[in-house]
Structure formats: C-alpha cells, structure tokens
Amino acid sequence: MLTPRDIHEAEFKRVWKGYDPDEVDAFLQRVLSEYESVYKENERLRQRIQELEAELAEYSRTEAQIDELLALAKQTAADVKEAAQHEAESLLKEAKLKAREIVAAAEAKARADGALLERLRFEGRQYRAAVERAAEDFLSRLDELLASVERWREAPAVQEAASAWDDGDAGERDGGDAAPFS
C-alpha cells in the first residue's frame, strides 16, 4: 500500500520542456497532505473497528452468560416447585408459600435478565450500525480520493508526459542527464 512517506520521497527526472517543478511539487504536496489525512483516518477507523469488535465479542460473552443464568434460574425454580409438591401434608401450606416466593424471585430475575439481554442486543446492533456507517464513510472518502487521482492521471497533459516518458524521449531531449526533483 502506498504510504504518505512514499509520496513525500517521490522523485522525478527533470526534462527540458517538462512540467513546472514548482507546480508538480505543489500538487504532490497537496496529494501528500490529503493522502496523509485519509491514511490517518483509515488507521483510526481500523483501530475503532477493532475496539468495537472487542466490545461486540464481550457483549456476546455476556449474552451467553445471561442465557446460562436464565436457564439456571428457570431450572432452579422448577426444582424448588417440584420439591415443594413432595412435602409432607403438615408442611404443604408452608412449602407452597416458599415455592411461590422463590418462583416469583426467579421469574423477576429472569425478566430483569431478559430485559438486560434485549438491551445488550440493541446496543450491539447500534455499535454494528455505527461501525458500518464509519466504514462506508471511509470507503466513500477513499473512492473520492482515488477518483481524483485517476482524473489527474487521465488528464491529457499527464498522458502526454507519461507517453513521452515511456518512449524514452525524456532522456533524449535533455541529453540523458536527468536529475530528480528537489
């Protein structure tokens, strides 16, 4: 991948009747500046995506733990209810009351855990949407920059210079003594 340093250190041979070195340098500086911005934004977005993926993984682990707790709470409620039904006749009234209290607490916890799970799922969807929006924005910016570079490369003057360069005319016009831009 082309880095800002590659652009900054690019050198070209000087030719007689070539482009104005100051204009080329100014344009390269502008390209470098914009590319550095996009490059840094890309790195920032990559880091943010990694952070969001880590958060999403943590939410997934939390969701699994909540599911286990919910299943355990339901199983505990069922076990307590079954045990209460087998109590002796003399303890039946007290056991039913206790079972109802435990079931109510387990159901309340299950509802609370279910609400938490739903909230975590909602937040996970929000984070995913934010990451997708950020990625789309970055790709849009990158497409614009690439289109700008492509338009520049396809400009008639650039095409002529590239053609002359490829044909070796540049070395013949200045006697083969080419020096890089400063």
Name the range with the highest mean pLDDT among 30-34, 36-40, 48-52, 139-143. 48-52
Residue 29 has pLDDT above 90, yes or no: no
Which CA distances in Å does 176 have to 13, 96, 163, 165, 169? 10, 103, 17, 12, 9
Q: What average pLDDT does range 158-170 have in this prediction?
A: 73
On whether the pTM is more than 0.85, the answer is no
Residue 181 has pLDDT above 50, yes or no: no
The residue to which tokens 């969001």 are assigned: 52
**Given pLDDT bands bounded at 50, 70 and 90, which one contains residue 133?**
very high
Q: What are phi and psi of 98, to 5 degrees?
A: -65, -40
Residue 30 has pLDDT above 90, yes or no: no
pLDDT of res. 174: 54
**Four-CA torsion 54, 59, 64, 66, nearest 10 degrees:** 150
Percent of the chain whose predicted confidence (pLDDT) is above 90:
19
More confident residue, 146 or 170: 146
Residue 67 has pLDDT above 50, yes or no: yes
Who's near 19: CB < 8 A, 6+ residues apart? Answer: 157, 161
**Residue 34: alpha-carbon gap to chain centroid:** 21
Residue 182 has pLDDT above 60, yes or no: no
pLDDT of res. 10: 74
Beta bridge partners of residue 13, listed in sequence order: 180
pLDDT of res. 87: 64
Residue 8 has pLDDT above 60, yes or no: yes
What count of other Cβ atoms lies within 10 Å of the Cβ of residue 101? 11
pLDDT of res. 157: 79
Hey, what domains does the chain have and what are their CATH numbers?
4-173 (1.10.287)
pLDDT in tens, 80-121: 778 767 766 777 688 788 888 998 888 888 898 888 889 989
> Directed axis angle between helix 156-167 and helix 92-154, to 10°?
70
pLDDT of res. 4: 78
Q: What average pLDDT does range 165-170 have in this prediction?
A: 68
What count of other Cβ atoms lies within 10 Å of the Cβ of residue 158? 13
